C-alpha cells in the first residue's frame, strides 16, 4: 500500500471507529444520567471534576465547558487530591470522577475520602463494574468497545467518549437553566464570539469622532471635515436632522465631473436618505447591513438624533467579521 493510501485509510478508520463509539453513547442515557443532571442542577455548590492521566485532561475540558455554560465548576487532580488538594471539595459540591478503568490506585484511595465527606459522587467510566463504578452514587457509562489505537492501548476513543458525555451533561444543564446567548456573552466578553452577542453600535460609535456639516457648507470644507474625522464620510445635518451624507466616493465622483468646486455646497453633492442604524443595535447586525448594501459606513442615531458613524473597519477591528 502506498504511503498516501495508508495515511488516508488509517485516518478514516480512526474517525469511523470513534464515530461509532460516540453514536453508541445514546444507549447509555439512562436513569443514572437523568439523576446526575438533576442533582447538579439542584446543587447549591459547585461541580468538582477529577481524574488522572488523560482523564485529567478531559476533566479540565469538561470544567471549562460547564463554567462557560452557567454551571460553576473546578478541576481537582486526583493525585494531588490525596496529597492536600482535597480541601477544594466543599460541603455542597458534587464530585465527578473520570476514569476509564475505574480501578486506578489513586481513584481507589480518593473515592472513600470523598464519600466520607458525604458529597455526591458521580462516576464517568467505561467500566460500571469497577471499583469506581460500584462505589459511586451515579454512573455515567462511557463504555467503548475498543480504542482507535491499533494496539487498543492509547486512550483515543475512550477519551473522546468521556468528552462527549461531559458535553451532553453540560448542555442538559444549560437547557434546564434557560441559559441564553446573552448569558453566554457574559462569560465570553473578550472573545469575538462574545462580542457578536453583546457588542452594540453605540459601544463602537462612542470611540469615533463625529463628522458633520450643514447643507450650506462649502465642498472644500466638507472634504476637510471628512479627512479630519478619518471615517471616510460626513453626515449632512439641517436643524440637527440628517438630510444626507457625503462619502469619499461622492467626492471622487464630483472631482471627475466638475472642473471647478468653488461655490459648490454640501447639498449639491450629498446622497439623500442615507442608511442609519440605532445605537442599541448589535454590531453584528450592522455588519450584515454593510455587507448586504456593499457600503462601508452607517450613520448611527439615538432616539432619532445623529450621534456618529460606525465604519466597517471598526467592526473588523472588533473581530465581528
User: Residue 308 forms beta bridges with which residues?
Assistant: 300
Residues in the chain: 321
Cell representation of residue 234: 460626513
Annotated binding-site positions for Zn(2+): 77
Binding residues: 77
* DSSP classification of residue 98: E
Helix (H, G, I), strand (E, B) or coil at 32: helix
- Report yes or no: 93 and 47 within 8 Å, Cβ to Cβ: yes
Cell numbers at 208, concatenated: 469615533
Inter-residue contact 199 to 282 (CB < 8 Å): yes
**Residues 140 and 36 sit within 8 Å (Cβ to Cβ):** yes
User: DSSP letter string over 151-173?
Assistant: TS-SSSHHHHHHHHHHHHHHHHH
CA dihedral 272, 277, 279, 284 (to 10 degrees): -140
Contact 254, 264 (CB under 8 A): yes
Amino acid at each position: 500500500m502506498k504511503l498516501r493510501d495508508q495515511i488516508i485509510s488509517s485516518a478514516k478508520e480512526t474517525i469511523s471507529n470513534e464515530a461509532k463509539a460516540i453514536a453508541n453513547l445514546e444507549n447509555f442515557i439512562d436513569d443514572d444520567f437523568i439523576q446526575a443532571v438533576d442533582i447538579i442542577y439542584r446543587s447549591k455548590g459547585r461541580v468538582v471534576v477529577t481524574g488522572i492521566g488523560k482523564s485529567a485532561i478531559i476533566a479540565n475540558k469538561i470544567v471549562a465547558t460547564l463554567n462557560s455554560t452557567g454551571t460553576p465548576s473546578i478541576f481537582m487532580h486526583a493525585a494531588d487530591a490525596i496529597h492536600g488538594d482535597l480541601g477544594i471539595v466543599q460541603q455542597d459540591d458534587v464530585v465527578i470522577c473520570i476514569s476509564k478503568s475505574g480501578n486506578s490506585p489513586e481513584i481507589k484511595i480518593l473515592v472513600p475520602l470523598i464519600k466520607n465527606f458525604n458529597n455526591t459522587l458521580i462516576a464517568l467510566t467505561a467500566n460500571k463494574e469497577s471499583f469506581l463504578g460500584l462505589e459511586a452514587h451515579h454512573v455515567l457509562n462511557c463504555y467503548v468497545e475498543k480504542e482507535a489505537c491499533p494496539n487498543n492501548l492509547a486512550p483515543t476513543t475512550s477519551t473522546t467518549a468521556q468528552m462527549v458525555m461531559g458535553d451532553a451533561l453540560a448542555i442538559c444543564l444549560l437547557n434546564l437553566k434557560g441559559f441564553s446567548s446573552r448569558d453566554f456573552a457574559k462569560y465570553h466578553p473578550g472573545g469575538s464570539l462574545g462580542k457578536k452577542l453583546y457588542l452594540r453600535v453605540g459601544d463602537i460609535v462612542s470611540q469615533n469622532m463625529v463628522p458633520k456639516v450643514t447643507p450650506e457648507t462649502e465642498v472644500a470644507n466638507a472634504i476637510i471635515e471628512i479627512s479630519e474625522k478619518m471615517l471616510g464620510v460626513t453626515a449632512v445635518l439641517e436643524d440637527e436632522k440628517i438630510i444626507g451624507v457625503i462619502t469619499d466616493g461622492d467626492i471622487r465622483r464630483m472631482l471627475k465631473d466638475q472642473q471647478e468646486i468653488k461655490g459648490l455646497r454640501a447639498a449639491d453633492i450629498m446622497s439623500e436618505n442615507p442608511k442609519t442604524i440605532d445605537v442599541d443595535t448589535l454590531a453584528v447586525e450592522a455588519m450584515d447591513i454593510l455587507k448586504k448594501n456593499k457600503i462601508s459606513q452607517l450613520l448611527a442615531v439615538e432616539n432619532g438624533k445623529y450621534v456618529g458613524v460606525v465604519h466597517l473597519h471598526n467592526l473588523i477591528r472588533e473581530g465581528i467579521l
